[in-house]
A and B are shown apart, each in its own frame.
Chain A
Amino acid sequence: MSQSEIYSINGPVVTVKNARQFSMLEMVYVGHQRLIGEVISVNKDITTIQVYETTTGLKPGEPVFGTQSPISVTLGPGILRNIFDGIERPLEEIAKDSGAFIPTGSAVDPLDGTKKWDVTVCVKVGDKVQGGDVYATCPETDLIVHKCMIHPYLNGTVVRVVENGAYTIHDTIIEVEDEKGKLHRCTLVQKWPIKSARPVTKRLPISMPLVTGQRVIDTLFPIAKGGTAAIPGGFGTGKTMTQHQLAKWCDADIIVYVGCGERGNEMTQVLEEFRELIDPKSNRPLTDRTVLIANTSNMPVAAREASIYTGVTLAEYYRDMGYHVAIMADSTSRWAEALREISGRLEEMPAEEGFPAYLPSRLSQFYERAGYMKNLNGSEGSVTIIGAVSPQGSDFSEPVTQNTKRFVRCFWALDKALAYARHYFAINWNQSYSEYAPDLERWFNKHVGPHFMAQRQEISAILASETKLMEIVKLMGSDVLPDDQKLTIEVAKVIRVGYLQQNAFHKDDTYVPLEKQSKMMEVILYLNKRCKEVVALNKPIRLILETGIFDKVIKMKYDIPNDQLELFDDYFKEIDTIIANIE
C-alpha cells in the first residue's frame, strides 16, 4: 500500500504534493480516520482527491493511502432488502454501530459476512467456464434466486467444487484454472468498479413495455423494458410520488431505488412503506425485490455523485442474471449539481449556468447503461432507467433538463398547474412524449388487443383538439361554441378527470391492469361516439349532460373493482338507454 501526505484542504477536495503512484479514479483512504476518497486529477506536482465524507478536522500532513483499484462495489447475495449509502455502506449496520447519526470514517463491510446462504453448485470439475457463466445459485429472498457468475473477464476450467450446502459469502465455492494455469478462487461475491458498465454479448431491440398500472403512462406515454425516461418537474409537482408509484407497481423483477440528494424522511417512508406493501403477483413484501441507495441532501456531496453509479452497477449485476431491473434515480439534478460543486472546487472553467462542460457526456454515459441485453451467459435481461429531474426555477430550458432530453426517449413533463389542482399524476399531455410507442405496438396488439393502439390514438386526438378549443374558450367563454365542440370539451374532461387522473391512495385505482385501462377507454370513446350521433341530429348536448352519465363515467375508476371487468357492460347498456331516450 502506497502512502503520501495531505498538502491542502478545501471542502471535500484534498490535494497531495509530489505523489506519482496514484492513478486516475483510484480509491484512496485519506487521513488517520481513513475517509474514503477518489483521485480525480493527476499531474506532475499535484494529485487531487475528492473525499466522500466530511473533511472537518482533517490536517495537512496526514497520510493518504492508495488501494490500486478504482471505487468498486461488492456484488453478491444480501444486496436485496438492504439500504446502502452512496458508496455501498449498509446504513443499518452503521446505525447499529454508531447510533442515529452517521459518523465519518466508518468502515463496515457492504454485505453480511456471517450469514450462511443455501448454495446449489451448478458446475462440476472439468467443466469449461467463461465470463458470466452461472456456477452457483442461492435463494436470496423468497422472490429472487441469486445467481453467482464467473467474473466477466475470466475463462478457464473448473478444478474444484464444494458440495451443495450452507456457506458464507467469503467461502470458496469453486476454483477455476485459467489458460495460463493460474488458479482463481470464486466465492459468492465479486467486485466491480462503479464507473464502468458490465460487458454484455449484445444489445437487443426494445420490444416489451414496462407495465406500470398507471393509466397516463401505460396508455399515452409507455416506457419499454430497457428504456430510459425522465420525469422533470418543479418542486411539489409529484416527482417523488410518481417514482414511488412506479417502484411499487411496475412489473420489473428488481427495483433499485436511488435517493440522490433528496429528503431523509422520504427514504424512511420508502423503507417503511415497502416493508408493509405486498406485491400482488407474489404475495411477498416489496422489500424482497428492492434495494435502496440513500444519499440524502445533507450527506457528503461527493458520495452523491457516486450513488447514481453504484445504483446502476447493482442493476447491471442483476440484469446479468437474467432479471428485468428498473432503477429509479431521484433526482439526477442533484447529481449534476454535485458535479458542479466539485468542478467549482477544482476551479474548472464553467460552461452553462456554472455546470461543467462535461455534463452532457456524463449524463449520456449514465443513460446509455440502460438497455435490453443479451448477457454473456446467454440469458436476457434489461435495465430500465427512470430519472427525476428537478429544474431550477421550474424552467425546462435549464441545462440539466435540456441535456437529459437528448438522451432519454420518454419524457414525462410534470406540470405545476395540474399539481395545483391536485391532478395527479401531473403529467402534462401536451409537453410529454414517448418514442417507444411504435416499438411496443406489436406487444400491445398481441397481449392487450388490436384496438389498444387505436384507442390510444383517439384519446390523444381528443385531448389535442381540447387544447385548441380551450384557447377560444379562454377568450370568449364556452357558451359560444357549437354543440359538437362543446361535446369535445366535455369528453376531454371525462378523459382528464376520469382517466388520466389517478388516485394513488385508492385501493383499486392505485394499480390498474391493462385490460381495465382498455375497457375504460372503450367506454369513454363509445360515449363520445353515441353523443356525436345525438349532436348530428341537432339535439342540444345539454340533454345528455343533465342525465349525469358523464359524471357516472368519470367515477367508473372507483366504482368498478379491478377483478370485475364484466361490470363495464352495464355502462354500454346505460349509454344506449340514455341516448335512445333522447332520440
Chain B
Amino acid sequence: MSLQYVGLNDINGSLVVLDHVQNASYDEMVEIELNDGSLRLGRIVQIEGERVVVQVFEGTNGLSLANTKTRLLGHPMELPVSKEILGRVFSGAGRPIDGLGPVYADKNMDINGQPLNPVSRVYPRNYINTGISSIDCLMTLIRGQKLPIFSGSGLPHNQLAVQIVKQAKVAEENGEGFGVVFAAMGVTNDVADYFRRSFEEAGVMQRVVMFLNLSNDPIVERILTPRCALTAAEYLAYEHNMHILVIYTDVTSYCEALREFSSSKGEIPGRKGYPGYLYSDLASLYERAGIIQSAKGSVTQIPILTMPNNDITHPVPDLTGYITEGQITLDSELHSMGIYPPVGVLPSLSRLMKDGIGKGFTREDHSAVSNQLFACYAHVQDVRSLTSVIGEDELSPTDKKYMEFGELFEKHFLNQGFDTNRSIEETLDLGWNLLSVLPKSELDRIDNEVIDQHYDHEKAIESFNIQDEMIIKELQLGT
C-alpha cells in the first residue's frame, strides 16, 4: 500500500519539490512516473514539515507540474548484488545495460555504506607488484590503499591504469580471487571503450564489473556512480574474500556534478564554487578502501583525476591529496619528452609504502634506495634550474654528474614502456646502478654498510655506456 502523489510544486534544475507528503524519510528513494509510463528515480535531499525536495537522477527534462505520479519507496538507494555481477555492465545508477537482464540479487546493499570502524581495520602491509619501476620502487602500491593518479588532459593516465591492472594480476597467486570494479564518471565513449577492450585483451573481463556514466549521461546520476561501484567492491571483497581493485575516472567530473547539484539547491559555495562539504563527500568515497579483520578480501582504489589547468592546488586534487594515502602525479613535460609512464617523481608519494617494503616484503635495501633516488633527483632539479641560468659548462664536476644521473634516470628508470614488466629485484638493481653513477660521498641517505654491499661505480659506467651504445646501434639499424 503505497501512496502516490500526483503533480509537483516546483521544478528547479534537477530538483523537484512536492508538498503535503506524509511519512517521508531523509535520503529515501522515490520513483517518479511520467504520463508515458517511463520511470525516473530520485532521492529526498531535504524535508521541511510536509514539503519535500527530491533530486531526480535522470534529470527533469519533460517533467511538468501536472504530468507526474510520485511514489516513496521507503528505503535509501540500494544496489542489488550477487556474485553474478562479475563480468556485467551497469549504468551509473546501477541498472544493467548490457542486455543480459536484471541481476538475481543475493542481497540489497545501501550504496552510501557505513563508516568502517578503525578498530576493525587491518593496517595494509602487503605490497602489490605493479611491474612499473617508478611505482614499485618510489611509491609502492599497497593492498587496501587508495592511491589516486593526478593527471592532466592529454596524458596517458588510462594506459597507466590498464597497465597496472594487467601486470598486478600476474603477481597475484594464480589470479584467483582477483577482481576489478571500474566506474566511469563523465568520460567519453572512447575512454570507456578503451578500458573495455583492454580488459578483454588482458583476459580479465570475466572478473570486471563496470559502471558507466558517460559524458552524455545524466549528470546527477554521476553522484551515484562511484557509490554503486564501491558498494559492489565492498560486497565482493568482504563477503566473497576477493581482492578488488577499484578504478574510477574522472573524479573532477564527479566534483563538478556535485557543484552543479549544490548550486541548484541554493547552498553557500566554498572554494571555486564547490560546496563546503566537498571534503566530507570525497572522504565518504575514498575512505571505503581498506582491509577488515573479518574478511580476507581487500578494496584498493585507484581514482583518476585530471587537474584542471595542471594545477595541483585546485580544490579537487588538493582535497583528494589530504584524504588519499599518497598520489601518483603525471608530468606533462616528461610526456612530451616521450617518456612512458611520465610519472612526476617528486610530487608523487605513497604513504603506506614504509610499512610494506623492506625485509620480508620486497628487499632489505628498498627504502634506502628509494629515499636516495628521491633526494638525488630533487637535487637534479636544482642543478637544472641553475644550468638554465649559467649554462652547463660552468657547473661543478659533482653537479655535472648529477645532470648525467638525471638523464639516465629518466631514460632508463622512468621510461620503461607499456609492455615491460619489471620484477622488484630488477627495479632495485637498476636503482643501484643509477646511484652508482654518482660519487659515493653523495649518497648521504644510506648507511655505509649498505652502500659497500651494493655500490659499484665501474659496473654502472660500463652498463650504461654499453646500453647507450646499443641504443645508438639499434637506431642506426632501424634507419
Interface residue? A347 (CB, 8 A):
yes
Q: B216 to nearest A CB, angstroms? A: 30
A10 to B45, CA, bound (A): 7
Per-residue contact bits, chain B 111-136, to A (CB 8 Å; 1 contact, 0 not): 01111111111111000000000000
Closest to B49 in A: A7
**Chain A residues closer than 8 Å to B477, beta-carbon distance:** none
Q: With an 8 A cutoff between CB atoms, is B473 at the interface?
A: no
Set of chain B residues within 8 Å of A474, measured between Cβ atoms: 385-386, 389
Task: Provide the residues of chain B in CB contact with A393, threshold 8 Å.
Answer: 313-315, 318
B31-39, B90-98, B184-192, B271-279: which one contacts chain A?
B271-279
Asked whether, in the complex, the Cβ of A264 is within 8 Å of the Cβ of B290, the reply is yes
Q: Is the beta-carbon distance between B118 and A268 smaller than 8 angstroms?
A: yes
Q: Chain A residues near B49 (CB, 8 Å)?
A: 7-8, 17, 60
> B354 — which chain A residues lie within 8 A by C-beta?
505
Interface residues on B, range: 35 or more
B371 near A354 with CB under 8 A, answer: no
Q: Which of A188-196, A297-305, A364-372, A435-443 contacts B (4 or more CB under 8 A)?
A: A297-305
Would A236 and B280 be within 8 Å (CB), given that A340-B270, A392-B318 are in contact? no
- Could you tell me which residues of chain A, from 373 to 431, have a CB within 8 Å of some CB in chain B? 390, 392-395, 417, 420-423
**Contact call B120/A95, Cβ cutoff below 8 A:** yes
A271 lies within 8 A of B120 (CB): no
Task: Mark A229-263 against chain B: 1 for CB-CB distance below 8 A, else 0.
Answer: 00000111000000000000000000000010101
Q: Does B24 contact A (CB under 8 A)?
A: yes
Interface residues of B in 288-334 (CB under 8 A from A): 288, 290, 292-294, 313-315, 318, 321-323, 325-327
A10-B375 Cα distance, complex, nearest whole Å? 49
Name the CB-closest residue of B to A554: B444
A337 pairs with B347, CB closer than 8 A: no
B395: min CB distance to chain A, Å: 7
Q: Are A505 and B123 in contact (CB under 8 A)?
A: no
- Indicate whether A458 reaches chain B with its CB closer than 8 angstroms: no
A382–B290 Cα distance when bound, in Å, is 37
CA–CA, A156 and B374, complex, Å: 66
CA distance A235 to B314 in the complex (A): 13
Contacts A101-B115, A394-B313 known; A265 to B276 CB distance under 8 Å?
Answer: no
Instruction: Identify the closest chain B residue to A55 (Cβ).
Output: B26
B121 near A268 with CB under 8 A, answer yes
Chain A neighbourhood of B444, CB < 8 A: 497-498, 551, 554-555
Q: Is the CB of B118 within 8 A of A264?
A: yes
Q: Are A100 and B287 in contact (CB under 8 A)?
A: no
Do A56 and B112 touch across chains, with their CB atoms under 8 A apart? yes
- Other-chain residue from A83, A100, A479, A558 in contact with B116 (beta carbon distance below 8 A): A100
Interface residues of A in 31-62 (CB under 8 A from B): 54-61
Interface of B is mostly: mixed
Q: Could you say which of B26, B122, B287, B448 contacts A298, with CB atoms under 8 Å apart?
A: B287
A327 CB to nearest B CB, Å: 18
Check: A582 CB closer than 8 A to any chain B CB.
no
Using CB atoms, name the residue of chain B closest to A470. B382
- Chain A residues positioned under 8 Å from B349 (CB to CB): 236
Assess whether A57 is in contact with B28, with CB atoms less than 8 Å apart. yes
Q: Does B445 contact A (CB under 8 A)?
A: yes
Using known A-B contacts A395-B313, A420-B374, A422-B374, determine if residue A477 contacts B390 with beta carbons closer than 8 Å. yes
- For the complex, give the distance between the alpha carbons of A395 and B327 in Å: 19
Q: Are B280 and A301 in contact (CB under 8 A)?
A: yes
Taking the closest CB of chain B, its distance from the CB of A305, in whole angstroms, is: 12
Nearest B residue to A339, CB-CB = B276
Nearest Cβ in chain B — how far from A200, in angstroms?
33
Residue of B nearest to A8 (CB): B48
Q: Contact partner of A479 among B23, B112, B326, B396, CB < 8 A?
A: B396
State which of B283, B326, B447 has its C-beta within 8 Å of the C-beta of A261.
B283
CB distance from B90 to the nearest CB of A (A): 23
Q: Which residues of A contact B293 (CB under 8 A)?
A: 100
A415–chain B nearest beta-carbon distance, Å:
12
In the complex the two chains form, is B114's CB within 8 Å of A101's CB? yes
Q: Is A334 among interface residues, defined by CB-CB distance under 8 A?
A: yes
Within 8 A of B (CB), among A260-284: 261, 263-265, 267-269, 271-272
Closest to A390 in B: B322
Number of A residues with CB within 8 Å of any CB on chain B: 78
Contacts of B346 in A (CB 8 A): 420-421
Say how far B290's CB is from chain A's closest CB, in angstroms. Answer: 6
Please determine whether A354 and B268 come into contact, CB atoms closer than 8 angstroms: yes
Cα–Cα, bound, A10→B390 (Å): 61
Measured between beta carbons, the chain B residues less than 8 angstroms from A57 are 25-28, 76
- Asked whether any CB of chain A lies closer than 8 Å to the CB of B284, the reply is yes
For the complex, what is the distance from the CA of A11 to the CA of B48, rounded to whole Å?
Answer: 12
The verdict on A265 contacting B352 (CB below 8 Å), with A344-B267, A353-B270, A392-B271 known, is yes
A422 touches B117 (CB 8 A): no
Chain B's closest residue to A346 (CB) is: B268
Q: Within 8 Å of chain B (Cβ to Cβ): is A548?
A: yes
Nearest-CB residue, chain B, relative to A237: B349
Considering the chains assembled together, what is the distance between the CA atoms of A57 and B367 in angstroms?
Answer: 48
Q: Judging by beta carbons under 8 Å apart, are B115 and A298 in contact?
A: yes
A347 touches B268 (CB 8 A): yes
Would you call A422 and B288 a contact (CB within 8 A)? no
Chain B residue numbers with a CB within 8 Å of A259 are 118
> Could you tell me the distance in whole angstroms from the C-beta of B354 to the nearest C-beta in chain A?
7
CB nearest neighbor in B for A422: B374
Residues on B with beta carbons closer than 8 Å to the beta carbon of A101: 113-117, 120
Question: In the complex the two chains form, what is the Cα distance from A350 to B268 in whole Å?
Answer: 8
Does A100 lie within 8 Å of B117, measured CB to CB? Answer: yes
B279 x A421 contact (CB < 8 A): no
**How many Å from the CB of B282 to the closest CB on chain A?**
8
B115–A296 touching, CB < 8 Å: yes
Nearest A residue to B118, CB-CB: A267
**Interface presence of B470 (CB below 8 A):** no
Interface status of A478 (Cβ within 8 A of chain B):
yes
CA distance A9 to B21 in the complex (A): 14
Residues on B with C-beta less than 8 A from A175 are none
A92 interface residue (CB < 8 Å to B):
yes
Q: How far is the CA of A381 from the CA of B389 in the complex (A)?
A: 57
Q: Is the CB of A7 within 8 A of B48?
A: yes
A205 at the interface (CB under 8 A from B): no
What's the least CB distance linking B399 to chain A, in Å? 8
- Residue A99 at the chain B interface, CB threshold 8 Å: yes
CA–CA, A550 to B265, complex, Å? 64
Q: Does A580 contact B (CB under 8 A)?
A: no
Q: Is the CB of B120 within 8 A of A100?
A: yes
Note all chain A residues with C-beta closer than 8 A to B290.
Answer: 264-265
A301 vs B287: C-alpha distance when bound (angstroms): 14
Please indicate which of the listed interface residues B46, B118, B292, B374 has the most CB atoms of chain A within 10 Å of its own CB. B118
Interface status of A103 (Cβ within 8 A of chain B):
yes
Chain B's nearest CB lies how many Å from the CB of A164? 34
With A8-B47, A235-B321, A392-B271 as given contacts, are A56 and B27 in contact (CB-CB < 8 Å)?
Answer: yes
Contact residue among A9, A264, A392, A505 (Cβ-Cβ distance under 8 Å from B121): A264
Q: Would you give 14 A-B contacts (Cβ < 8 Å), ordered by A?
A: A54-B112, A59-B24, A92-B119, A95-B117, A100-B120, A235-B321, A259-B118, A298-B280, A393-B318, A420-B346, A421-B375, A505-B354, A551-B444, A554-B444
Query: What 7 A-B pairs are tightest by C-beta distance, nearest first?
Result: A393-B313, A297-B283, A421-B378, A235-B321, A298-B287, A101-B114, A8-B48
Interface residues of B (CB under 8 A from A): 23-28, 46-50, 76, 110, 112-124, 144-145, 238, 267-271, 275-277, 279-280, 283-284, 286-288, 290, 292-294, 313-315, 318, 321-323, 325-327, 346-347, 349, 351-352, 354-355, 367, 371, 374-375, 378-379, 385-386, 389-390, 394-396, 441, 444-445, 447-448
